[in-house]
Each structure stands twice: as structure tokens, then as C-alpha cells.
Structure 1
Amino acid sequence: MYKIVIDSCGELPEELKQDGHYETVSLELEVDGCRIRDDSTFDQSDFLRRVRESLKGPKSSCPSPEQYMDAYEGEADHVYAVTLSGGLSGSYNSAVLGKNLYEEEHGDTKKIYVFNSKSASIGETLIGMKIQEFEEAGCGFEEVVEKVEEYIKSMNTYFVLETLETLRKNGRLSNLKAFIANSLNIKPVMGSTKEGLICQLGQARGMNKALERMVKDMISKTKDCENRILAISHCNCPERAKAVKEKIEKIAKFKKIIIINTAGVSSMYANDGGVIMAV
């Protein structure tokens, strides 16, 4: 038996929630002293309202090692954890510490491996799906780990934000740069580095042109499209995500394209109207 533990930045489609092999470990969000758990109780519209009204902006806190340790419990003898990029969050380190604590208490009763997704949101989801694919194909634990680590190296994550206000409020962007971008309707096209950090790939004036640029960059870097699953997550903009999917389908054929609404942590990063893409 196997289990896939994924932190709550990784959005799970309904069929994976009901699958029985997945367990989510929740991060917490905070906006002006209001603490919000990123689980099934998360109210996106209320959260986005609080973010708009906040002068300081939202913050997040990663799960404790004890939360991960509890998630490793159960009958599964193969346990795989998938976390937010270690360069963006303490979730990876917490999951590793939870693994060490579990093994100190229980010995080597099961095999546990923690994947640093070097991504976020639906990038984590794709990694969970790839773990399941190899497990269901009968691969051994070490083979699954090796194959999935190779898959992570081949992945790329992209995103375009409607507004830079949350980044400005969090101190990740200067007031001047945010003001200029917002005034001129400039939308940066962002992506992940191979180390799992955020980088700017380009920019365009207006959301539609920025999304076109994001799709163009993704297609140019993605090989063997017909054998890959592409995932799109959106923050409160389903029609925009659908339009991105249609743009992609006109120029490339993927094995499958999935669309999902962002949960708590991804809503904090993407903000209202943001689109994230991973492949």
C-alpha cells in the first residue's frame, strides 16, 4: 500500500480527494490577525476580500513537523510527501523533520520519502499524480523516487498575476515598481527556476498579451507534449483559465489538460485573477 501526503498548496481535483491514496497537510494563512486554515473550510471570496482591504497583506505559516508525522501514520508501507518549493516555504524542511521524528519513534517500519516539488500549486498535484502512476505500474519504492525526481527536473511552472499588490504589501516588490506596473497595465510573466525560486520571464501590456507570452514560453520549453499532462490553476477566473486552455489546444496536443481553482496558499500567491500553469 502507498500514501501520498501533499501540503495544501497542491490543489487536488475532486477525484483525487476521493481516491483514498492522498492526504493533505494544511498550511495556515493570516490577514490582519485573522487566522485561516487552508483546508475544506477555506472561503476564497472572503479571503480575497480580506486581502483587498488589508494594508499589510497576507502571510502564511507552514505545517508543523508533528502534523507531517501524524500524516505518515497508517497502513501504507510506502509514504511519499510532496511539498511547496523549499526555496519558498519551510514546508519541505518541516516534512523532512517529521519523517525523522517518525523514524525515531517507529524505526524502519515503512519507507518515507519527501519530494521538494521546486514548484507550487498544481505543480505539486502533477507530482502526486506521477507518483501514483508509477506505484500503480508496479514500480518499487526506490524506482518511484528515482523516476519522480527525474520528472521534477523536467517540470516548469509559470504564472501571470492580475495585480502586484500582494507582492508589494509583503515587501517582495518595491512600491515604485508596483506603481509603474499597475499604472501602465504591465503584467510580468513569471516562472520557476530549477532551484524552485521565482524569476521573471518577460512582461507584456495587458493580461491577454501576458497570457499569450506565457503559453508561448511554455510551448517552446516543453518536449514530448503528447505524453505529458498540463495543469492550469486559476484564482477566481475560470473563463480566463478556459481561454488559456483553448489557446494551448490550438498549437499543441497534450495527453491531458486539467483546470482547477486555487485553494488557500495558491490564492494568496496568485491573488484575484491570477493564472498558474505547470507541465
Structure 2
Amino acid sequence: MSYKIIGDSCTDLTEEMRKDGHFHIVPLTLQVGEDSIVDDRTFNQARFLKLVSESPVAPKSSCPSPDAYMELFKGEEDIYVITLSSNLSGSFNSAEVAKKLYLEENPHKNIEVINSCSASVGQTLIALKIQEFAGMGLGFKEITERVRKFRESLSTKFVLENLDTLRKSGRLTGLKAIISSVLNIKPVMYGTPEGTINKLDQARGIQKALGIMVDSVEKDVKNPEERIFAIAHCNNAERAKFVREEILKRVSFKDCIIVDTAGVSTMYAGDGGIIISY
């Protein structure tokens, strides 16, 4: 059967995936003050980061409409949709509405909406896993069952260079932000199985924080020889390469990919942020 993998624009694709006709992206819209930015191929990361740094308010995002999803449901028989964690965005609910409406008129289609319970490269790895299973010739039902099990085994972590977005959004008090900035404290965060964000640890200096993150991967990863280690960076390719080198010294992953963050992931990670999933 023909298939299509649709991700919302928090799914950070590799260049190879962008060229592969099986992968499609539905954009979210980002809002920074009075400026509205569509998170598609026109997204300009440098301009967005400048707008965020100059704005007194935190950037926001709005999810795609059901119509935007339904437009991409046309064509292939098997449709897989991967969304940002439903605890972080309404994208999943929008895709579910689109599925219900579309199947009323096209009951022959197979459509599965997957709440990634993650973001960025966590979504990327789910998309790659669907492609892998489809390439094995598995049927729609078996692919969806296997992918859900794979999602439950995923880990996503990140290190932030800058706490301004958290401060502006009210998730960090001004005093804590000032103290963290003065002391050069960098938080190490992780995604929970439910798709929320918690703090794993913190360190003084970005290199120490990245080291803590790498240590945590080495401690908790299972069957790395069967897994891809994915890194997304926001405007800092050298930092991403450093993380790759450090982790591959210690853990033998099947493969490692590095991507630059698109709009939504840029908003979450901030300038210099690093997101990993495995």
C-alpha cells in the first residue's frame, strides 16, 4: 500500500527526509509580539531569534487547522500523522478532528494520529521508524502497533543556553532568571512519558550541562545498537558535533543524525539550545 508520513512543523527533518516524497510537514504559526511567522520552508531562524531577543513578551505558537491536515490526507491510502506532545500544543487535537471529518467522506482510508509525547527529534525518530516498518512491507495495523511501542521507549532531553523565554512566559521568576544568568547556570531538561517537561539537573556552564546530559544517556539507554541517536541544535552546529563525539565515545548507537531546528523547536530550545532523542 502507498503511504504518507505527515508531521507538524515541530518535526525537525534531515535534508534526506525533506527530499523523500513520503514525508510532509504541516506548519504551525509562531507569534512574536505583532509579528506572525509561518513555520514552513520560508522560516528564517536568524530573524526569528532576533525578534525573540528584542521582544518583552514570550513567543507563542498556534496549531495547524484541521483543514491544513485534511489537505494532506489526499492521495496515499495509509496516512500516519505525528504531532508535538498534546501537553505542549493543540496540534494533536486538531489532527484528530481532521481524521474524524476526513474519514466520514473517505471511509476507505487508513489514518493514524500519533501523539509523540515528545518534540523535535523525538518526532523525527518516530517518522523514521514508520518509514523503516513500511519498507519491511508491514501492514498498517502492525506498523501503528509497533510505532506506539517504539514511542513508549523514546527518551528526549535538552539543554538550554538561555532562560529568557521561560522567564518571559512566566515559567521562571525574574529573580531565578537573574540568578541563573549571573551564575551561568544551565538547566538540563527531559520529557516525561506523558509528554510534559521536567528538570533533570543543572550545571554552571554549558559544557558541564551537556556533560550531565551525555552521562544520563550512557546510564539509561537500552539496546543502543538498535537505536538512532538524534540531535537538534538551534544555531550551534559545533555544539551538536561536540555532543555527537562525546556520546559516540561511550555508546555504540546504530546511527547518529544532526538537524538544525525549524521554527517551533527554535522557539522551545532558544539560541544555542540542544535537543537529543534516542
Q: Please, what TM-score do these two structures have when normalized by structure 2?
A: 0.98
Structure 2 unpaired stretches of 5+: none
Provide the rounded CA distance (Å) in 1 between the counterparts of 2:15 and 2:235: 17
Equivalenced residues, count: 277
Identity %: 54
SS of the residue 2:249 aligns to: helix
Equivalent positions of 1:1-279 (< 5 A) are 1-74=2-75, 76-106=76-106, 108-279=107-278
Per-residue deviation, residues 143-183 of structure 1 (Å, max 9, x unmatched): 00110000000000000000100111111222122112111
One-letter identity of the residue aligned with 1:146 = E
SS of the residue 1:70 aligns to: helix
Provide the rounded CA distance (Å) in 1 between the counterparts of 2:228 and 2:83: 19
SS of the residue 2:207 aligns to: helix
Per-residue deviation, residues 113-153 of structure 1 (Å, max 9, x unmatched): 00000000011010000001001101111100110000000
Runs in 1 of length 4+ with deviation above 3 angstroms?
Answer: none
Per-residue deviation, residues 181-211 of structure 1 (Å, max 9, x unmatched): 1111111100000100000001111100000
One-letter identity of the residue aligned with 1:271 = G
One-letter identity of the residue aligned with 1:50 = L
Provide the rounded CA distance (Å) in 2 between the counterparts of 1:156 and 1:219: 12
- Name whichever of 227-236 and 171-180 sits farther off: 171-180
One-letter identity of the residue aligned with 1:48 = L
One-letter identity of the residue aligned with 1:41 = T
Supply the RMSD in Å over aligned alpha carbons: 0.7
Q: Please, what TM-score do these two structures have when normalized by structure 1?
A: 0.98
One-letter identity of the residue aligned with 1:55 = P
Q: CA deviation at 1:32?
A: 1.1
Structure 1 unpaired stretches of 5+: none
One-letter identity of the residue aligned with 1:88 = L
Q: CA deviation at 1:57?
A: 2.1
SS of the residue 2:10 aligns to: coil
Q: CA deviation at 1:88?
A: 0.6
SS of the residue 1:29 aligns to: strand
Q: CA deviation at 1:273?
A: 0.5
SS of the residue 1:152 aligns to: helix
One-letter identity of the residue aligned with 1:258 = I
Provide the rounded CA distance (Å) in 1 between the counterparts of 2:34 and 2:217: 38
Q: CA deviation at 1:232?
A: 0.1
Provide the rounded CA distance (Å) in 1 between the counterparts of 2:166 and 2:33: 16
